[in-house]
Amino acid sequence: MDSDVVIAYMGKPSHGVGYENRAAFQGCKPVILLIETDRSMTRMIKGDFAAKFIIEYREPDDLERSLSELLRELRPKLLAQRAFLLEMREEARILGRRIRESRERQGMSRQHLADLIGVNTECVKALEEEFYVVNPSWVLLYKAAHILGVPPSYLVDPSITEDQLRGLEISRTVSEFAREYNVPFRDYELLLAIARRLSKGSSIDKGQLRSLYHRLKHYRGEENG
């Protein structure tokens, strides 16, 4: 993740190059593949999703010249990418902290969260302390957010505040309650507005919503008994 570009020699079979290629793709890093003319390249490397540049050469001098030209051509894009990733790395510290804070709010240990996600404890530790380096997949983040009871957007968008998070949680709880009790849309909107006002920055559960909805229906004279 600290590299600007991956350069791989493809003259001999190597399991490592496939892993590096995948890491480059996850980090949006271009890959330059070097191979002698008339040699074949594995389809696993040719068919993956990384941005690839292939240099075929006969002599070392040809390789040096072609590689130098390509790097000069890529340099402006690589510098822009580096600046973007440095900024993202600062934001990643916030994201890692949010995973830790959300886990601690649930009273959950790293081991417990790791078991629920399906990774080892070191992965959770790295997510919290070295988020940028780990560069987790969307599947992992989505599952972690589901387990921690927060929207995935809260983990990946530093602009979402704690108050906005509570607002999202209240909206989700009211929506679930409305579906379970077949609440009409006009009542749903009114119930959501009241719940947001009464919560005063804290969460609200379905039991409180049930009591609130009964009071609302009683006020309208719609309840029987």
Whether the per-residue pLDDT at 60 is higher than 50: the answer is: yes
157 burial type by CB count under 10 A (0-12 exposed, 13-18 middle, 19+ buried):
middle
Any idea how long the chain is? 225
SS3 199: helix
What percent of the chain lies above the pLDDT cut of 70? 94
Give the Cα separation of 167 and 97 in Å (integer). Answer: 20
pLDDT bin (cut points 50, 70, 90) of residue 25 is confident
Q: Which of 64-78, 151-165, 172-186 comes out lowest in average pLDDT?
A: 151-165
pLDDT of 67 reads 96
Give the Cα separation of 16 and 26 in Å (integer). Answer: 16
Tell me: the pLDDT tens digits for 186-210?
888 888 888 877 776 567 778 888 8
pLDDT of 63 reads 95
pLDDT of 16 reads 67
Question: Tokens standing for 199?
Answer: 């919560």
SS3 12: coil
pTM for this model (two decimals) = 0.62
Contact call for residues 65 and 76 (beta carbons, < 8 A): no
- Segment 34-43 shows an average pLDDT of 84
Whether the per-residue pLDDT at 88 is higher than 90: the answer is: no
Give the Cα separation of 23 and 29 in Å (integer). Answer: 8
44 burial type by CB count under 10 A (0-12 exposed, 13-18 middle, 19+ buried):
exposed
Whether the per-residue pLDDT at 27 is higher than 90: the answer is: no
Whether the per-residue pLDDT at 225 is higher than 60: the answer is: no
Question: Tokens standing for 131?
Answer: 């988020």
Give the Cα separation of 174 and 196 in Å (integer). Answer: 10
